[in-house]
Structure 1
């Protein structure tokens, strides 16, 4: 299987039988995502979502296998320990000997979803309501007590190998792999990697000014940081919502699993929810301020904003711009390179001026 987002029909049939005990009537491959995700209709009339690691070759690596296993347990934890609207996990298979790759199956939830390039279809009041509710849910996520003391990639200790069951979650078993004792070290490692990639883009001449600006704002970040499980990438395509009212039906795709600071998470959520790099499209109004205000209003219903958040968000937005430049080719952005990089130059100039 060269395409890591596809699976043979007979494998999908076996996966569904193993977890829900029913046959597949029809299935559809999701249009987005780095791993295979299928919408399943069963002969019994039920609807599910199946998510698996990539191809068997990719799943042989520990990172691919761990990613799918930890996501299944995180979604289960959010369902049982928070009020965040997530699908119910109905079965997890960890042992790769029978299927060649780990996977899990969730309930299907009704709701509209659109790509960030179509964000202009969402009017201001609906987007404001979505952002407000997501602010409430991010605060709920940040309140989840796991006892972690490091920053890095989220993991789950001593995972028992499941064969179709629902995980039994103990919050204290969530942990960090490749951890950093301080947020400064974690963020410095993060931006160093992104800056190395940025150096190979047409905007490389901006690198000295960007490095100076990032160095200055990082040096001013508060040092007293508490690790939280981050939502991080919360673009509009990871929300199921009512198009008329903005009521959030579910937050989906919990594959990016990072333990970060609350300020970083909020800044990245507002950046991605307002369109991220897709704000460069001429038909997408830049509504970052609208999203920021509504997100913070929802968040402060439960928690105070992080210390000096207004200062920190500028630093983290600049870091996200740097990261976005490197990822443009992957997203098949419709603007020409020159138009796109002109937009990024303008935005980066605003941040470093």
Structure 2
């Protein structure tokens, strides 16, 4: 049970908030940090009757950082209600910092398995079921991209066609403004990508961090819910596909985007298989050149991991199963990989 203020949860105050604001909650409520998240902090909340919810709040010391706006994430989840997209239901939000030092929101707890690492895959998903999980993942992504963002409440943003330029500016600015060192590969990859931004097609809802371990699966290998919506906006859907491909490690890869990727075991389809399945489901008018989106996502993930490195150095992530130095080394590898892919792009 989490009990210390530096964990991000003031137990008594948040428990009282639950009893007052979450229907059916019976005190006292206990909180346990959920491992895996490296950005916003995530907790399992369990009340006296055993009912469970999930609570999300920003990293320590970053209560009102634009990059960790949990109330915006709650708004995104609210907009997805009524769409076919599988996502958890928000049951409460709190913008009063006096409760636990930062805004937070609470959502329903979904039942299922998160395939977070090779060990979980090996223990819970036989090799003959892994292709079905991959197919469900791709169909879920194409289903998200089939939703009209105007009908889901995104309004004028759905008319913009500068998503990649905005993303390049945003992540570069985040990296430059809050860093403890300079990685040359991040800077020069950014400059090369800016010069080669492709023309964007129709704007769609972009999850922003779509990968196997940000989804929860039911026993029948379908997706129970997509998780971690903090980076969601409207833009170029191929950015999501590129990110899925970068995270989709194959056993013989030299560099992995994750330290212990769940797909680094036999039985999963290849990245080329995923592209074919996505294009078959999305049926674009022209076949896109995915190379830019792959380079872009290696760069973006390098920026994200470098940010995690900075926050862990400063103690903003609370207790961690990894050292700051391990994140720093990972960010260097990712930045070098991004530059390698960026150099392959044509004029």
Query: Could you say whether these structures have the same fold, taking a TM-score greater than 0.5 normalized by the shorter chain as the test?
Result: yes
Q: Is the 8 A contact 1:4 1:54 kept in 2?
A: no
Q: Is the 8 A contact 1:195 1:322 kept in 2?
A: no
Cα 1:298/1:103, change in 2 over 3 Å:
same
Residue aligning to 1:304:
283
1:52 to 11, 34, 57: 57
Q: How many Å separate the matches in 1 of 2:339 and 2:62?
A: 36
Note if 1:265 corresponds to 2:240: yes
Q: Is the 8 A contact 1:29 1:38 kept in 2?
A: yes
Structure 1 residue runs of 4 or more that deviate by more than 6 Å after TM superposition: 1-4, 194-197, 286-289, 333-340
Q: How many Å separate the matches in 2 of 1:316 and 1:182?
A: 14
Note if 1:109 corresponds to 2:129: no
Alignment of 1:103-252 (within 5 A): 103-116=104-117, 121=122, 125-147=128-150, 171-172=152-153, 176=157, 182-183=162-163, 185-190=165-170, 193=173, 200-201=182-183, 204=184, 210=189, 214=193, 217-218=196-197, 221-222=198-199, 224-242=200-218, 246-252=221-227
Residue aligning to 1:164:
none
Q: How many Å separate the matches in 2 of 1:237 and 1:277?
A: 13
Q: How many Å separate the matches in 2 of 1:144 and 1:4?
A: 40
| SS across alignment from 1:172 | coil
Q: How many Å separate the matches in 2 of 1:7 and 1:172?
A: 32
| SS across alignment from 2:153 | helix
Q: CA deviation at 1:352?
A: 2.6
Q: Deviations over 1:40-94 (max 9, x none)?
A: 2222232211223455x643x37378x222222322332x322222222223334
Residue aligning to 1:314:
291
Cα 1:300/1:99, change in 2 over 3 Å:
same
Q: CA deviation at 1:106?
A: 1.8
Residue aligning to 2:40:
35
Q: How many Å separate the matches in 2 of 1:50 and 1:84?
A: 21
Cα 1:292/1:96, change in 2 over 3 Å:
farther
User: How many residues are treated as equivalent by the alignment?
Assistant: 315
Q: Deviations over 1:216-275 (max 9, x none)?
A: 642xx23x5322221121233312124x75332221121122322122222123323448
| SS across alignment from 2:270 | helix
| SS across alignment from 2:257 | helix
Q: Is the 8 A contact 2:26 2:48 kept in 1?
A: yes
Q: CA deviation at 1:13?
A: 0.7
1:352 to 338, 343, 346: 343
Q: How many Å separate the matches in 2 of 1:188 and 1:346?
A: 17
Alignment of 1:12-23 (within 5 A): 12-17=14-19, 18-20=21-23, 21-23=25-27
Cα 1:73/1:190, change in 2 over 3 Å:
closer
Q: Is the 8 A contact 1:82 1:140 kept in 2?
A: no
Residue aligning to 1:73:
75
Residue aligning to 1:9:
11
Cα 1:24/1:255, change in 2 over 3 Å:
farther
Residue aligning to 1:165:
none
For structure 1, list consecutive stretches of 5 or more residues without a partner in the other structure.
148-169
Q: CA RMSD in A?
A: 4.4
Q: CA deviation at 1:22?
A: 1.8
Cα 1:229/1:320, change in 2 over 3 Å:
same
For structure 2, list consecutive stretches of 5 or more residues without a partner in the other structure.
251-255, 310-321
